[in-house]
Amino acid sequence: MPPKFKRHLHDDEVTGSARSERRNLLEEDSDEEEDFFLRGPSAPRLAARSDKMRHVQNQVDEVIDVMQENITKVIERGERLDDLQDKSESLSDNATAFSNRAKQLRRQMWWRGCKMKAVIALVAVILLLVIIIPIVLKYRS
């Protein structure tokens, strides 16, 4: 069971104490070995590390440039995809409108065909009646 009066340290307290401890260590008299560990390497070693740091920084800069180009390309690709999506939606709307108009036109043509067949049938019946009625009446009398 944990103790009831447990104190939790905050980040501010930890970093503040680490800074004050480091400051105390640096201010006291110490030999060169301790200075090396506390302050870092001296100038000749620093120059070699500086070249390495420049080399690494150049590599980081190159990677940043490549990533910026990639991001630009992705953004451009996204814009092209948006344009393509807009065009495809427009094409889909036009296709639906065309399909509806084609169905309407097909129905109109079917009714026109039915009307034409009815007119032809009516004309044929009238012609038959015109031809047959006088013949029937002639034979009856």
Give the separation between CA 103 and CA 113, rounded to whole angstroms. Answer: 15
Instruction: State yes or no: pLDDT of 21 exceeds 90.
Output: no
Choose between 120 and 9: higher pLDDT: 120
pLDDT at 56: 92
pLDDT at 51: 86
pLDDT tens sequence across 24-78: 665 655 555 555 555 555 555 556 678 889 999 999 999 999 999 999 999 999 9
Residues near 41 by Cβ (< 8 Å), separated by ≥ 6?
49
pLDDT band at 127; cut points 50, 70, 90: very high
Nearest to 119, CA basis, from 131, 127, 130: 127
Question: What is the DSSP track for 106-140?
Answer: HHHHHHHHHHHHHHHHHHHHHHHHHHHHHHHHHHH
Choose between 1 and 75: higher pLDDT: 75
CB atoms within 10 A of CB 139: 7
